[in-house]
Structure 1
Amino acid sequence: MKFKRIIYISFVILPFLLLSLPGNGQISFPGFPAGIDNINVPFIKLPGVDRDKLISIEEQERLITGKKSLRFGKIIPVSFGTDNSGVFQSFDELQVWRIGLWSPDARGLGLIFNRFDLDDGEKVFVYSPGKKQVLGAFTSGNMNKNKTLAVRPLANDSIIIEFQFNTNRKDALHIGSVVYDYLGIFSTIGAKDGWYNASGPCNVDINCTEGQDWQSEKNAVCRELIYKPDNGYSELCTGVLLGNTAETDAPYLLTSNHCIENISHAENTLFVFQYESPYCEGPDGFVIKSISGSGLKATSENLDFTLVELNKIPPITYNPIYAGWSNLDNPPDNSVTIHHPNGDVKKISVDNDPAVMASYSTFDDNAFWNILQWEIGTTEAGSSGAPLFDQDHRVIGILSGGDAHCGNSVNDYFLRLTNAWDDYSSSGEQLKFWLDPENSGATSVNQRDPYAEAKLDCDTVSNISIVESKEIYSYINPESGTITGHNTGLLKQYAEKFLISSERNITGVCLNVARAIWSDDSDSVKIKIWYGTNQPDQLLYEKKLQIKAFVDSVYNFVDFDSVINVTSDIYLGYEISYNPGFSASTQFAVFHAEDRGVGGANTAMAFDGSNWFEFPDIPEIAISTSLDLQPVICGEIPSLGVELPERENDLNIVVYPNPGSGLVTFIPNGFIFGTIRVQVYHPAGYVLQDLDLEFSGGRIDLDLTGLTTGLYFIRISQGAKNETLKVSIIR
Structure 2
Amino acid sequence: MIPNNKILLAALFWCCSLSLFAQSGEWRIPAPDIDSLAKADARMDYQRFAAPFPLDLTTEAGVWTINNGVNGTWKLTISMPTARGLALYLDRVKLPAGATISLRNQQGSQGPFTSKDVSALGRLFTGFLPGDEVTLTYRGTIFPTDQSPFHVWRADYAYRADLFQPRSAGVALNFGNSNDCEINVNCNTGNGYDDERNGVARVIAVAAEGSFYCSGSLVNNTAEDGRPLFLTAYHCQAGLTPLYDLWRFDFGYRAPTCTDPVSEPPFTAYNGSLFHAGREESDFLLLEIVDPDFNGESHYFNGWNRSDEDVSGISVGIHHPVGDIQKVSNSTFTGLTIWGNSINWESITTPPDHHLRMIVDEGSAEEGSSGSPIFDPDGRIRGQLHGGNINCPGTNVLYYGRVFQSWTGGGTADNRLSDWLDPLGLEPQTLDGTYLNGNGLGRILRGNANWLGQPVENVRLILNWGSSIDTVFTDANGDYEVIRPENTTSVNIATFYDEGDEDFGVNITDIISLRRHLLGLDTLDARTLVAADVTNNGVESVGDIVRISQVILQLSNWIDRPNWLVYPAILDISGLPSNIFGPFNIGIANPDAGIITIDFEVSKNGDVNDNVYGN
Q: Does residue 1:360 correspond to 2:343, yes or no?
A: yes
Distance between the aligned counterparts of 1:96 and 1:282, measured in 2?
A: 39
Instruction: State the Cα deviation string for residues 28-64 of structure 1 (Å, max 9, x = none).
Output: xxxxxxxxxxx98521112323457756874x567xx
Amino acid at match of 2:311: P
* Range with bigger deviation, 344-353 or 143-152: 143-152
Q: How does 1:249-328 map to 2 (within 5 A)?
A: 249-261=226-238, 264-283=242-261, 284-312=263-291, 315=294, 320-328=299-307
Which amino acid is 1:97 matched to? W
User: CA 1:720–1:157 in 2, change beyond 3 Å: closer, same or farther?
Assistant: closer
User: Contact 1:192–1:286 at 8 Å: present in 2 too?
Assistant: no
Structure 1 distance, partners of 2:469, 2:385, is 53
From 205, 215, 222, the equivalent of 1:245 is: 222
Q: Report the equivalent of 1:122.
A: 99
Contact 1:377/1:406 (CA < 8 Å) preserved in 2?
no
Secondary structure of the corresponding residue to residue 277 of structure 2: strand
Asked if residue 337 in structure 1 is aligned to residue 317 in structure 2, the reply is yes
Aligned: 1:87 with 2:63: yes
Is 1:432 the equivalent of 2:410?
Answer: no
Task: Tell me by how many angstroms 1:205 deviates.
Answer: 0.7
- Give CA deviations for 1:558-584 in whole Å, capped at 9, x if unaligned: xxxxxxxxxxxxxxxxxxxxxxxxxxx
Give distance in 2, aligned partners of 1:669 and 1:117.
26
Runs of 5+ consecutive residues of structure 2 not aligned to the other structure: 1-21, 448-460, 472-483, 493-582, 592-615
- 1:210 corresponds to which residue? 189
CA contact (8 A) 1:303 1:367 kept: no
- Matching residue's letter, 1:48: A
1:143 correspondence with 2:126: no
- 1:576-598 CA deviation, whole Å, 9 max, x = no partner? xxxxxxxxxxxxxxxxxxxxxxx
- For the pair 1:227 / 2:206, whether they are aligned, the reply is yes
Shift of 1:374: 0.8
Question: 1:364: Cα distance to partner?
Answer: 3.3
What is the TM-score when the length of structure 2 is the normalising length?
0.64
2:445 aligns to what?
A: 646
| Residue matched to 2:179 | 200
One-letter amino acid of the counterpart of residue 110, structure 2: L
Alpha carbons 2:295, 2:440 under 8 Å: kept: no
Task: Please say if residues 151 and 292 of structure 1, whose CA atoms lie closer than 8 Å, have aligned partners that are also in contact.
Answer: no
Shift of 1:159: 1.2
Partner-residue secondary structure (3-state), 1:125:
strand
1:136-194 CA-to-partner distances (Å, cap 9, x unmatched) read 22111112321112221111211111222325262421122111011463655664525
Q: How many residues align?
A: 439
Aligned counterparts, 1:233-632, within 5 A: 233-261=210-238, 264-283=242-261, 284-312=263-291, 315=294, 320-334=299-313, 335-352=315-332, 353-358=334-339, 359-361=342-344, 362-451=348-437
CA contact (8 A) 2:103 2:109 kept: yes
Does the residue aligned with 1:258 lie in a helix, a strand or coil?
A: helix
Read off the aligned partner of 2:257 and give its amino acid letter: Y
Distance 1:644 1:337, change over 3 A: same
TM-aligned CA deviation for residue 223 of structure 1: 0.8
For 1:175, the aligned partner's letter is V
> CA-to-partner distance for each residue in 1:217-257, whole Å, 9 max, x for gaps?
0011111112221xx23211111111111112221111111
Taking the aligned partners of 1:40 and 1:79, their CA distance within structure 2 comes to 15
- Higher-helix-fraction structure: 2
Q: Once structures 1 and 2 are overlaid, which stretch shifts more, 163-172 or 309-318?
A: 309-318
Q: Which moved more, 1:188-197 or 1:332-341?
A: 188-197
Task: Name the aligned partner's letter for residue 316 of structure 2.
Answer: V
Q: Distance in 2 between matches of 1:141 and 1:680?
A: 15
- 1:357 shift after superposition: 1.8
8 A Cα contact 2:87 2:129, kept in partner: yes
One-letter amino acid of the structure 2 residue matched with residue 329 of structure 1: D
Q: Deviations over 1:600-642 (max 9, x none)?
A: xxxxxxxxxxxxxxxxxxxxxxxxxxxxxxxxxxxxxxx8468
Task: Give the whole-Å Cα distance in 2 for the aligned partners of 1:264 and 1:410.
Answer: 30
For the 8 Å contact 1:404–1:411, the answer to whether it is kept is yes
Is the 1:150–1:293 contact (alpha carbons within 8 Å) kept by the matching residues of 2?
Answer: no
Over the matched positions of the two proteins, sequence identity in percent amounts to 25
The Cα offsets for residues 199-222 of structure 1, whole Å up to 9 and x where unpaired, read as 222211100112121111001111
- The residue identity in structure 2 corresponding to 1:218 is R
Q: Does 1:48 align with 2:28?
A: no
User: CA 1:200 to 1:246, structure 2 compared with 1: closer, same or farther past 3 Å?
Assistant: same
Q: How has the CA–CA distance of structure 1 residues 324 and 171 changed in structure 2, closer, same or farther, with 3 Å as cutoff?
A: same
Q: 1:88 to 1:653 in 2, by over 3 A?
A: closer
Gaps of at least 5 residues in structure 1 are: 1-38, 452-638, 655-665, 671-678, 682-686, 694-716, 725-731
> Is contact 1:193–1:287 with CA below 8 Å preserved after alignment?
no
| Secondary structure of the structure 2 residue equivalent to 1:243 | coil
After the TM superposition, which of the residue ranges 298-307 and 323-332 deviates more from structure 2?
298-307
